[in-house]
């Protein structure tokens, strides 16, 4: 059995979004961003989110999310902002 580590806050927000309506997020065309088992460093996560957006033709949103995250006041707020733009897997 392979165990995968994930930062507790990322897991909390990911499971919350799934409970709120993961299917609805797909309908809005959010790119999927795989974060399970990855580094919890906020800048690393932002890089992954930016890559997912750019790979899906959303370069303007990539710039917007970066600006909002860098202006955010906390780790939790930054995660919430990024999760507005991508579906976390």
Asked if the structure places residue 2 within a domain, the reply is no
Buried b (16+ CB within 10 A) or exposed e, 23-44: eebeeeebbebebeebebebee
Residue 1 forms part of a structural domain: no
Residue 3 falls inside a structural domain: no
Asked, for residue 14, whether it belongs to a domain, the answer is yes
The CA distance from 71 to 13, in Å, is 20
- Would you give per-residue pLDDT tens digits along the chain (89 residues)? 444 455 666 655 555 544 443 333 344 579 998 877 767 899 999 999 999 999 999 999 999 999 999 999 999 999 999 999 999 88
Answer yes or no: is 67 within a domain: yes
Rounded distance between C-alpha atoms, residue 14 and residue 11, angstroms: 5
- For residue 25, the enclosing domain spans 8-88
Residue 46 forms part of a structural domain? yes
Q: Specify if 57 maps to a domain.
A: yes
Number of domains composing the chain: 1
79: which 2 tokens?
A: 């995660």
Residue 25 lies in a domain: yes
Contacts 24+ apart (CB under 8 A), 63-69: 69/42
């Amino acid at each position: 059995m392979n165990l995968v580590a994930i930062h507790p806050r990322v897991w909390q927000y990911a499971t919350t979004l799934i409970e709120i309506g993961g299917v609805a997020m797909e309908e809005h065309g959010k790119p999927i961003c795989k974060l399970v088992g990855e580094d919890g460093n906020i800048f690393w996560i932002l890089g992954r989110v930016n890559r997912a957006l750019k790979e899906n033709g959303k370069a303007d949103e990539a710039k917007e999310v970066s600006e909002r995250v860098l202006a955010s006041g906390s780790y939790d707020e930054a995660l919430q902002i990024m999760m507005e733009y991508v579906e976390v897997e």
